[in-house]
Structure 1
Amino acid sequence: MRSPSSAAATDRGSAPGAAPDASGSPSPRGPLTRLGGTIGRHPLRWVLAWVLVAVASFAVAVGGVTGESLFDRLQSGAPSVDSEAQRANDVIASVEPTLSTLTLQVSGADLTDPAEVRAGAQATAAIRDIPGVAGIQSPLLAQGGPDDPSVRSLVGDGRVDSGRFATVVQFDEGLDADRQATAEAEAEKALLGVADRMGAEGQVGGLGKVLDAITSTIERDLVRGEGIALPLTFVVMFFVFGGFVAAGMPIVGAVVSIGGALLSLFGFSHLLDLDATVVNIVTLLGLGLSIDYGLLTVSRFREELVAVRRHRVPDRDDVVRAAERTVATAGRTVLFSGLTVAIALSGLLVFEADIMKALGLAGVSVVVVGMVVSVTLVPALAVLGARRLARNATVTASDTGVFSRLAHGVQRRPVLVIVGCVAVLVTLALPTLGIKLTSSGTELLPRDAQMRVFFDRLEADYPALSAPAVTVVAETADTAAVTRWAQDDLRDQPGVTGVTVRPLGGRYTLVGAQVQGEPLSQQAQDVVHHVRETRTDFPTLVTGQAAGQIDFLESMGHRAPYAVLLVVLGTFVLLFLMTGSVVVPVKALVLNVISLGAALGIVVWIFQSPHLEGLLAFSSVGAVESLVPFLVLAFGFGLSMDYEVFLLSRITEYHHQGFENDRAVSLGLQRTGRIITSAALLIVIVFAGFIAGDILIIKEMGLALVAAVVVDSTIVRMLLVPATMTLLGSWNWWAPAPLKRIHARFGISET
């Protein structure tokens, strides 16, 4: 077995046959070394190039120099797939194209005063003359006035003495963006003028205004989250590095990565529809990973600078050599780690829903940007600040310390530690057994947001204006037969409060079923299942929010095994190539699944049960957003494997150097414990900044990833990993002979 001193010498990433450097350790001479040398000799060129890239990225993605920004191209809505619900929507749209609308809600009007009604009617009728307006529905324009039975659904409580009424303006189909915006602006002004003419209060809303509210809130949350995260991470890194220069380098790299991430999202928005929530989720991941990788790179550069410098003040050759070794070692770790995260996110590409593909593609691109920045820009910044970094640089960490003592304590009672940790994780995961999923609309906004208040009032005061919870497209023109079925069967289903039947045109008839409770309630879903399972004498297609949710989750369930298989196999192969073991990768996968279950359980307990509403400033919808579990598994798995790579790479390195199993584990934990802890703290700060946001799904994702990182970097990485590796002993490194030969030829190693 090699001595600890020789291990410290080889710890910096030697390769067999390489020429020794000034420190006496051999140095790798591969492509990464040559890249590091180029960066070391021309750092300013790299920095200036990245500055230009960052400025251009922000100008295009946020500044709108092309005429529109990323936020102008975002959409919002429930996730959808090619399904029965979507086919039903296509049939309805082909016969009755959906027209964009604006709705006016008026309160405090005197609908019993003929003069006031006439004044309001005149102002309302004038809206027809606005270019782009297709039609108006208003109780003021009814032949019999507001008390006309045909418009009673547009009068609050159906009573003219309520003082409340609604007016709906429809716009022409096919208007371009500029004409649509102009028409809506003029119509909104005119609608508010109707309320003023009647001496009442008016508020205007519509789906377009909801999307604007969501995207503007997301943009504000993004600025707020980064405004919280970046200063706090800088403070933490100041104490980690003991200086402003070193602390600022990962931050600069993170900012540049954010610019690249936003630019990549802007590009993807031209290829597929991007949901508004994609921006924050993906940017949040890129920011966290960039800071983690920057921390690792700067730390390694300082360590290598101590090893290679020949004088108190490093000269140019010393700095170049340190850059070569940093990119060859830390750069390799960053690339390997980034590849594991990319594999985890690539699992999202297997799913049918466009939003999952968008998140997968955008997430992978952001990881790539973060990796490239970390192995080029950050080393270049470190080279430029080498003299400042050298002042406080110290030798490689000692073989003994807090984390080695923790490892020894765990190794004395591994079974007890494993049982205790698993019990805690299983307890945290239990709430996932009762998880309920939903796809919120306006509920994504805070309860006091203007557009959420508007639609809450609209649903309460004018339920007839809300879309039916369940819509059935019957492929028959026999309205009488459809009516008999709707009254004799559909109307009798639990929770159904009423049904409407009308010809849709051509060979279709449309049935709308109003159901008690929310559109995604269990009763609404039961009605969907009943119609689909008890098909009538005529073909039917069922749609609505509940039907769309059912179809989405069924599609996700069908594709999930393939996504899991892709991620598991990809991760297993990478970890095998790194460790040469089949046991370590399997153990890592199992532990990650348990820790992610615990993180998801915390999310369910907080947001569904609910708990901590006041502290976290949200209003529960009694469920978890349907995207969250899948995104937690993808993003959380990637982050967990990120820390797994940090730890296993060092443990494997010591094992290959000849240390016995327990010693390799304690040394690996001692050398990486500080990096993992610091990286976890920084990424928790990043995600916590987004918990302060207002969009519900972003808040849920932020908290989920905070929980995943905290659980993984403490219970799993510091306790379960050393305990299980101690218990398994030499079996950790077992692999069949044929696989051993494959690893000997293709294995990935820094030594």
Structure 2
Amino acid sequence: MGRLEAAAVRVLNGKAKYVMALAWIGLLVAGGLFGLQFFDETADEDDSLPKSSLAYQADAALSLIPFGNGDGVVLMVGNDKVNITDEEAMAFFDQLFALAQQMSPPSSPFALHTPYMSYVYVGSGWQAYPSPKPHYRSQDGSRLMATATVLGWGSTIYTVRTIRDASKSILQLLPEGSRVWCSGDDIIWDIILGALENDLIIGDGISIPTALVVLCLTLRSTRYVLVPLLSIAASILSSFLLMRPVAKSMAVSAVAPNLMMSLSIAMSVDYALFVFSRFREEMRAGKSVQDACTAVLSTAGHTIFVSGFTFIACSLTLLSVPVKLLASMGVAAAITVACTVVVNLTLVPTIILIFPSFFREATTDRGCCSWKKEQRYVVASAAAKQHGTSSRFNDNHGDDDDDDDDMLLLAEDEDTPLTRSAGANVVAVDAIAARARKSPWYRFGKRVTRRAWLCIAIITALAAAAFYPALTFRHVSGVDCECPQNYGVVKDFYAVSNTFGAGYILPFGLLIEAANGSLLTQQHFNNVAAVCNHLAAALPDVHVSDFDGLAINNGVPVSFTDEVSPCFFPNGTTDVPCYQQTPPVECVRTCFNKNYFTTNDALDLVWLRPRVDGSSARGQKWIHRARAEIETLQEQLGVRIMLARGGVEDVDMIAHVFGRFHVAIASVAAVVFVLMLLAFRSVAIALKAVLSIALTQGLVYGISTCVYDYGIFAFLGWNSLAPTGGLCWIPSILVFTILVGLGLDYHIFLLSRVVEFRRLGFDDEESVLLGLARTGRVITAAGVIMAIAFLGLLFSHEALVQQLAFFIVIAVLIDTFVVRACLVPAMMSVLGRFNWWPLTMPKVTRSQHLEPGTFGYGPIVGHVAFGDDDTDTDDVDVDERGRQMR
């Protein structure tokens, strides 16, 4: 036992344990009062674009145009059985305008455009004028569209809801069976936070009870399950409280609370499994509660600390990614795991020491989640034979892979079981190993090591096959990833996009520089027409009617006249005579029809509304092609042209992040290598850890690409596995570091057992098999619990969260059942004595093929720690004669 752990337990066993408990109670109260406000301090936008990027420059230029931040609202009406006639549509839109006049207050300026008329409200009056727009009717005639342009986030949301409700109230003016669809730019983003909170409740409602049931079945005591509930709450509230200062200093992703909740559940239950399985074994060895806690801190506590520190170090490598939202997710994950580690190393021992009787009785509790079995296991030894003991193995046991407390060491009277007090029978490590050899995990490992090269070849081949899709996956962002697909405004967005194109809701801004520093010249108007005509001819999914601005109206070039001049707002104000009298036709087209004005005489804004969504994989290709055409136009016309909005920022952000992603990969690999080298002092183990993680990552990314890009599970009809045309770029970056931290958790736990057996004198292969046998059940349960904790997020409605959950669930299952169970034993079997280089392990002193009741080269001396395993053996201390010491 470590002196530090023993000293800590002695301190906690005094009055300090009540001080610790009060401190945690105070922290829980503070977390409940202030920590939950963290939900309101998250964000879904990032300002991390480098100033050198084209998108940053275009966005900065667009900010100089006040209405460059204007937002669109689209209303679509239609009937699948009959086409709506012009008379019916005109009556409907006239009535809609009448209701729009009652909006209080309308945004200023406000414009409503129907296929037949345009209505403009600026200042204190409305202007109405004919403005036919044939492209506002779908090609098959079954759908018609009206658009509204407003200024400001709140105005967009208000307008969408008002127009939608007004349209439904007058739907009887259209043929029976007609429907309305209404969506807008800002409102589809406004619903994200509320949707994430709702999904969080659903996910945790699934994950927490299921994970606790698995824990209960594993530990077979309901009493142990009460502590994880408290540790989950303490981890969540304390991590939320610590994240509030972080949220004030940097943009924190709105998905961060979902990730933190799932991590808290998964790690708290996993760590509880490590702590209480070890505590139970120490108690069954006859130790006091205080001594058992000391043993727990020095063994399971050490594993928890190393595992948590590794996860924290890997998560913080996301700080090397120059995107604040992603960096914030790494900080959130690191803080969550740090809090979980502290809770399990301080609060959990404190609770055990405050209520010793409660947990002492749980050691032999046979209530719920338990079952009784006849199982007696007697160990014979050379020392026992010297004492004339007639002990033997009784094969009347129910489960060779059982981690329960039914293994009883019989005294000289074989029908009288000894307790964990004095006079325990002699026990040898060989007998413990013999018990382990009856485990299904041992037999499975034997098959793997006998075919080690074949196993390695198969896993490597699968990983190699997965590497192609893993390295060539497409990125998607925007509505497809971040918006809840079950919300009406999002469904309406897709309905409008499929009919008229996403550009009417998420338009692009085309910024064209004036040739001579002034927009009011015929040359500039000619340049605008040339640009629009060229792009319409060169780009797919674009028609010339999709361009609108000062010099072009629905694709029709505007003739330059002096009457255009009054349309410009001096000093950005709206108090000009143009709004107090009937404006000329050209002024209406340029000022009112498109609600356009500028305070920058050198730039002209043209709205571009293609059918493609710029945040999709196809839209990103469209943006790259558009930029190539724009470069050609700049050379021809000698003016600067920039593309903004419409997903352009996402394209530059993704390129910027993945351009630096190799730094994060190298950082994670270095962290893993160094930590594994320090933990095991073996270069081979450190390299093997890096290699196994690389294979896991290849498999996970390859499988995810096949699901969400290739759509191999599309036939299931489950939205959580529906193809999105690529991988959402945020989880594809985020999970890389998280998967490493989670995977090393089980890797470290298994290798610790293998090293322990090797130091006890078993040969290399046998050490691997015994380590696998003794950790199989615990690691399997931990992996299943971890997968369940994140499985709940698969039932969310945002593709970003669904893919995040899928990544982690698949990775945990692969680590648990492929890497830990197959790849690691096979690789260690092949490497043999080179596993430990440059260390020199003790000579092999124990045979691989001992039968129960026999010994190899004699018992060892010292403490034999075999907790948290798949067999029914407790840790023991033995002397030079192989006798169990008190």
Q: What TM-score, normalized to structure 2?
A: 0.70
The answer as to whether partners of 2:436 and 2:442 remain within 8 angstroms in 1 is: yes
Report the CA distance between 1:584 and its aligned residue: 0.9
How has the CA–CA distance of structure 1 residues 305 and 71 changed in structure 2, closer, same or farther, with 3 Å as cutoff? same
| Aligned partner of 2:335 among 365, 390, 402 | 365
Q: Which runs of 5+ in 1 are unaligned?
A: 1-26, 63-68, 174-179, 310-317, 738-749
1:142 matched residue in structure 2: 119
Supply the distance in 1 between the matched residues of 2:352 and 2:533 (Cα, whole angstroms).
76
String of CA shifts for 1:39-98, please: whole Å, max 9, x gaps.
Answer: 444555544543443343244344xxxxxx333333335896223212211210122255
Q: Which AA in structure 2 matches 1:245?
A: R
2:622 matched residue in structure 1: 524
Please give the residue correspondences for 1:695-706 in structure 2 after superposition, counting only pairs within 5 Å. Answer: 695-706=798-809
| Aligned partner of 1:168 among 132, 148, 156 | 148
SS state at 1:276 partner:
coil
How has the CA–CA distance of structure 1 residues 208 and 142 changed in structure 2, closer, same or farther, with 3 Å as cutoff? closer
The answer as to whether partners of 1:680 and 1:713 remain within 8 angstroms in 2 is: yes
Report the CA distance between 1:566 and its aligned residue: 1.6
Supply the distance in 2 between the matched residues of 1:138 and 1:516 (Cα, whole angstroms).
19
Report the CA distance between 1:479 and its aligned residue: 2.3
How has the CA–CA distance of structure 1 residues 152 and 274 changed in structure 2, closer, same or farther, with 3 Å as cutoff? farther
Supply the distance in 1 between the matched residues of 2:290 and 2:725 (Cα, whole angstroms).
58
Supply the distance in 2 between the matched residues of 1:589 and 1:195 (Cα, whole angstroms).
59
Report the CA distance between 1:99 and its aligned residue: 4.8
2:788 matched residue in structure 1: 685
Report the CA distance between 1:286 and its aligned residue: 2.8
SS state at 1:609 partner:
coil
The answer as to whether partners of 1:524 and 1:546 remain within 8 angstroms in 2 is: no
Please give the residue correspondences for 1:528-539 in structure 2 after superposition, counting only pairs within 5 Å. Answer: 528-531=626-629, 534=632, 536=635, 537-539=638-640
1:87 matched residue in structure 2: 57
Supply the distance in 2 between the matched residues of 1:431 and 1:162 (Cα, whole angstroms).
40
The answer as to whether partners of 1:111 and 1:163 remain within 8 angstroms in 2 is: no
How has the CA–CA distance of structure 1 residues 531 and 335 changed in structure 2, closer, same or farther, with 3 Å as cutoff? farther
Larger displacement relative to structure 2 (545-554 or 416-425): 545-554
The answer as to whether partners of 1:249 and 1:382 remain within 8 angstroms in 2 is: no
Q: Which AA in structure 2 matches 1:617?
A: N
How has the CA–CA distance of structure 1 residues 733 and 184 changed in structure 2, closer, same or farther, with 3 Å as cutoff? closer
Report the CA distance between 1:531 and its aligned residue: 4.0
2:212 matched residue in structure 1: 234
Q: What TM-score, normalized to structure 1?
A: 0.82
Supply the distance in 1 between the matched residues of 2:247 and 2:86 (Cα, whole angstroms).
47
Q: Which AA in structure 2 matches 1:255?
A: A
The answer as to whether partners of 1:75 and 1:211 remain within 8 angstroms in 2 is: no
The answer as to whether partners of 1:257 and 1:286 remain within 8 angstroms in 2 is: yes
How has the CA–CA distance of structure 1 residues 475 and 668 changed in structure 2, closer, same or farther, with 3 Å as cutoff? farther
Q: Which AA in structure 2 matches 1:54?
A: L
Supply the distance in 1 between the matched residues of 2:609 and 2:100 (Cα, whole angstroms).
30
Report the CA distance between 1:561 and its aligned residue: 2.0
2:595 matched residue in structure 1: none
Q: Which AA in structure 2 matches 1:75?
A: A
Q: Is structure 2 residue 505 aligned with structure 1 residue 466?
A: yes
Supply the distance in 1 between the matched residues of 2:159 and 2:829 (Cα, whole angstroms).
72
The answer as to whether partners of 1:470 and 1:527 remain within 8 angstroms in 2 is: no
| Aligned partner of 1:303 among 269, 281, 304 | 281
Report the CA distance between 1:682 and its aligned residue: 0.5
SS state at 1:565 partner:
helix
How has the CA–CA distance of structure 1 residues 590 and 186 changed in structure 2, closer, same or farther, with 3 Å as cutoff? closer
The answer as to whether partners of 2:67 and 2:151 remain within 8 angstroms in 1 is: no
Report the CA distance between 1:338 and its aligned residue: 0.7
2:709 matched residue in structure 1: 608
Report the CA distance between 1:670 and its aligned residue: 2.4
The answer as to whether partners of 1:222 and 1:690 remain within 8 angstroms in 2 is: yes
In the comparison of the two structures, how many residue pairs are matched?
A: 688
Q: Which AA in structure 2 matches 1:380?
A: T
| Aligned partner of 1:582 among 663, 676, 683 | 683
Supply the distance in 2 between the matched residues of 1:262 and 1:126 (Cα, whole angstroms).
44
The answer as to whether partners of 2:46 and 2:323 remain within 8 angstroms in 1 is: no
Report the CA distance between 1:597 and its aligned residue: 1.0
Q: Which AA in structure 1 matches 2:30?
A: A
Report the CA distance between 1:732 and its aligned residue: 1.4
Supply the distance in 2 between the matched residues of 1:362 and 1:262 (Cα, whole angstroms).
9
1:617 matched residue in structure 2: 719
The answer as to whether partners of 2:266 and 2:789 remain within 8 angstroms in 1 is: yes
1:71 matched residue in structure 2: 39
Report the CA distance between 1:118 and its aligned residue: 5.5
Larger displacement relative to structure 2 (439-448 or 246-255): 439-448
The answer as to whether partners of 1:58 and 1:259 remain within 8 angstroms in 2 is: yes
- Of all paired residues, the percent bearing the same amino acid is 22
The answer as to whether partners of 2:264 and 2:336 remain within 8 angstroms in 1 is: yes
SS state at 2:73 partner:
strand
SS state at 1:495 partner:
coil
Q: Which AA in structure 2 matches 1:126?
A: Q
2:423 matched residue in structure 1: none
Report the CA distance between 1:455 and its aligned residue: 1.5
The answer as to whether partners of 1:403 and 1:670 remain within 8 angstroms in 2 is: yes
String of CA shifts for 1:658-692, please: whole Å, max 9, x gaps.
Answer: 54322332232222222211100101111211112
Report the CA distance between 1:615 and its aligned residue: 5.3
Report the CA distance between 1:513 and its aligned residue: 4.9
Report the CA distance between 1:270 and its aligned residue: 2.2
Report the CA distance between 1:583 and its aligned residue: 1.5
How has the CA–CA distance of structure 1 residues 581 and 320 changed in structure 2, closer, same or farther, with 3 Å as cutoff? same
SS state at 1:166 partner:
strand
The answer as to whether partners of 1:596 and 1:632 remain within 8 angstroms in 2 is: no
Q: Which AA in structure 2 matches 1:577?
A: L
String of CA shifts for 1:509-559, please: whole Å, max 9, x gaps.
Answer: 345555554423154134245147645233343334453343223212331
How has the CA–CA distance of structure 1 residues 440 and 586 changed in structure 2, closer, same or farther, with 3 Å as cutoff? same
The answer as to whether partners of 1:528 and 1:546 remain within 8 angstroms in 2 is: no
| Aligned partner of 1:126 among 69, 90, 102 | 102
Larger displacement relative to structure 2 (38-47 or 703-712): 38-47
Q: Is structure 2 residue 447 aligned with structure 1 residue 409?
A: yes
Q: Is structure 2 residue 67 aligned with structure 1 residue 29?
A: no
String of CA shifts for 1:240-267, please: whole Å, max 9, x gaps.
Answer: 1111011332343223222233334444
| Aligned partner of 1:722 among 825, 842, 846 | 825
Please give the residue correspondences for 1:535-554 in structure 2 after superposition, counting only pairs within 5 Å. Answer: 536=635, 537-545=638-646, 547-554=648-655
The answer as to whether partners of 1:429 and 1:599 remain within 8 angstroms in 2 is: no
Q: Is structure 2 residue 262 aligned with structure 1 residue 263?
A: no
SS state at 2:249 partner:
coil
String of CA shifts for 1:14-36, please: whole Å, max 9, x gaps.
Answer: xxxxxxxxxxxxx2102x44333
Supply the distance in 2 between the matched residues of 1:101 and 1:481 (Cα, whole angstroms).
27
Q: Specify which structure has the higher proportion of helix.
A: 1
String of CA shifts for 1:465-509, please: whole Å, max 9, x gaps.
Answer: 334457455475462464365257534424152353746632123
1:57 matched residue in structure 2: 31
Q: Is structure 2 residue 265 aligned with structure 1 residue 287?
A: yes
SS state at 2:248 partner:
coil
Supply the distance in 2 between the matched residues of 1:105 and 1:571 (Cα, whole angstroms).
54
The answer as to whether partners of 1:138 and 1:167 remain within 8 angstroms in 2 is: yes
The answer as to whether partners of 2:188 and 2:489 remain within 8 angstroms in 1 is: yes
String of CA shifts for 1:587-643, please: whole Å, max 9, x gaps.
Answer: 111111111111111111112221334353344322111122222311111111111
Please give the residue correspondences for 1:439-450 in structure 2 after superposition, counting only pairs within 5 Å. Answer: 439-441=477-479, 444-445=482-483, 447-450=485-488
How has the CA–CA distance of structure 1 residues 71 and 632 changed in structure 2, closer, same or farther, with 3 Å as cutoff? same
